[in-house]
Structure 1
Amino acid sequence: MSIDLLTKLEEEKEQWIYKAIVRFDKELLENAEITPENQIMQIKNMHNRMYRQRTREWGQMNKDIKRMKESLEEAEQSVHHLNMAAQSLQEEIAQYEELIIDLDTSLLEKFKCELDKRFEFDQIKGCVLFKDRKTTKLVKSFYELNREMDEFYQKQLDRSIRRFEHFLGVAAPYERFDFHTNLPVTALSLKHGRGLDQYLVLKNFEEDYQIVQDTLNENNTMVYNDYVEQMNHFKQYGKKVLLQKCIIKKEHLRMVFDELEEKNNQKRANVLSISKLEKKLSKSEWEWNHELERVRKLDEILKEEFVNVVSVLQEKLFAKQTSDADRWIYHQYCQIILKQSERIIGNEYS
């Protein structure tokens, strides 16, 4: 009886593993050359190899994602700085273009030689009163109006200089503008008035009065034209400087826009790469979780079959009718099956 039992148990010692494989996946039984225990060990070993490979892949993917996110952050910072630079350049260009327009508004007002306001006229006859018909009066009026003319233009020139230096302060901070003043003017030369101070003949006074008026007008026009010419020269120079600055700034702006386009393309590429890699990582993790559940299911089945077979053996082991020899055999096979379970269920997996 003990020999038959020993033979029977030897033949059935892997039946519990076989039943577990049938429950888990019948297709595994197609390879009859491999024992059930080895088949389980192959599954576990393949699972462990897969886990190590997946772990390496996940580590590399996480490193790549981290690197791409750092690159994306750097690109975003670069885009921010480039946008600030572009805005600053656009403001400078707008300022230069506005200054070019403003330069044209710098105009020189012509002095008015109002000689008549220095003399008192007869409202009926329309001529200068006798008391004002004097050489000294004419000469004094001439020099006073000349001085007023100089002061009138000097004030405008000072304002213009300040405007030019303000306009070009950003573009050419070290430029200085100085008008040539003290221009040569025509001296006064009266036809009459070499004798008495008082004009006795109205016609003689009127001739000298006209000479004073004409000389003042001539000097005024000459000085005005000269200052206008100088001002136009400064304007053209200022426009040239500002236009050169505009050209340089626009070229810088073009380069900034080119770099912005490159960085934005880099951002889009990084976002797309990160998205693809994160999807790939998520899919890989999902597949692994599915595989993990599959191996856990196998272990659960193995545990159930192990419990079933051990329960049967223990029932027979402790049965009253079981002989001592058979009890010893049942005990030994319980130990064999326990060792089997430790080998195939005890394998670590993640």
Structure 2
Amino acid sequence: MGAALKARLVEQALAEGFVSCRICRPWDVPQVAARLQAFLAAGFHGQMGWLAERSHWRGDPAQLWPEARSVIMLAESYAPERDPLEVLDQRDRGAISVYAQNRDYHDLVKKRLKRLARWLIAEAGGEVKVFVDTAPVPEKALGQAAGLGWQGKHTNLLSRDWGNWAFLGSVFTTLDLPADMAEQDHCGSCRACLDICPTDAFPAPYRLDARRCISYLTIEHKGPVEEALRARMGNRIYGCDDCLAVCPWNKFAVAASDLRYAARPELQAPELAELARLDDAGFRALFSGTPIKRIGRDRFVRNVLYAIGNSGDATLRGVAQGLCDDPDPAVADAARWAVARLAPA
């Protein structure tokens, strides 16, 4: 019964659009608690206080729902159709992380997880709970324990079958399903992801200092960004794909099955001048339904002004000048910084 049910479960998951479905136990990641505590003790989490607040669950998923006996780990591809690093050479344009150029993946992945969970209940009973990355679940470690892939030197999960362009989701269940073998590390001596990082955010392979990571700085960090890091951010205005884009295993990347992950044309390489002029209503209208909406106009325009300051384009100086008295202190500070950067020699 167990093996047959699992085979049908995998078939159903693939039919839903997931690229892989594997199973582990909630207690299969005993190393997570110590690694998380070391990360927090080093202060690498920056302003992400929620990582510390719920570390008892994130460090031990067996505590999240003690009745659970199996964790179904799933990966869904969002592989881009073009090289996401190309836009970095267009200094008057903004670079938005691939995953944020269209619909918010939380909504799409969770709906698939819920459909799969309902199918499982109908087939075998039991109880289920579904999680995307908003819950205190160590998806990457569980993904490796389940055999989806392994955590690479950039700390993200990658696979020999689909590279590293994938969202992760999980279904916890009280059913006792046959577990898969954990995946081994296949990074070898490769350092591509570490060497390309613009801000040197990796103090060592497999370790990330979020305080230096552009994804953290543009999304999670509130207030002004440290001046020494602003110039390194280039024109990245929401997230950063550098370490993912250079991974050699992406030669096996699988095309995204959901067209709603395909980049909206207006978000592939948007003009910095237009973005800087957004008010709150304009920001919400442009980014409705995308992950970008959650950071708000002020933090986003702050990022745009850093990109303008890095553009070397003197014609953008006037755009920044117009925001030097913005009501938001971080926006005004970024505007003044950009104006100074673009001042005539």
- TM-score over 0.5 (shorter chain): no
Greater Cα radius of gyration, structure 1 or 2: 1
TM-score in terms of structure 2 length: 0.21
Q: When you count helix as a share of all residues, which structure comes out higher? A: 1
Q: When you count strand as a share of all residues, which structure comes out higher? A: 2
Bigger relative contact order, structure 1 or 2 (CA pairs below 8 A, ≥6 apart):
1
TM-score in terms of structure 1 length: 0.21
